[in-house]
Amino acid sequence: MRAVLVGYLSPILVDSVLQRALQRHNFAPATLSDAAVSELTADIMVGLRLFVPEEKLSQLMLELAEVLEEDQP
């Protein structure tokens, strides 16, 4: 997920967004389940709308959806 986000935002901003989402849900990166990753993705999508240009937002959402599908068993 981070690799996809860095394609659209600075690494510092990506780390900040991810860290805030993890803290908000009391998740630890090492113990994330597929459900937790889905929840985090939904949470960060709202914030990403503020930072990603509108013309690139749909492509970012598609790429994140692909990452989530790859993680499904």
Q: Each residue of 15-55: pLDDT tens digit?
A: 998 888 888 888 888 778 878 888 888 888 877 888 899 89
Average pLDDT over residues 60-69: 86
**Which among 20, 6, 4 has a CA at the least distance from the CA of 62?**
4
Percent of the chain with pLDDT over 70: 96
pLDDT category at 65 given cuts 50, 70, 90 is confident
Nearest-10 Cα torsion for 64, 48, 59, 34:
10
Which domain covers residue 13, as residue numbers? 2-71
**Total count of domains within the chain:** 1
pLDDT category at 71 given cuts 50, 70, 90 is low
| pLDDT > 80? residue 7 | yes
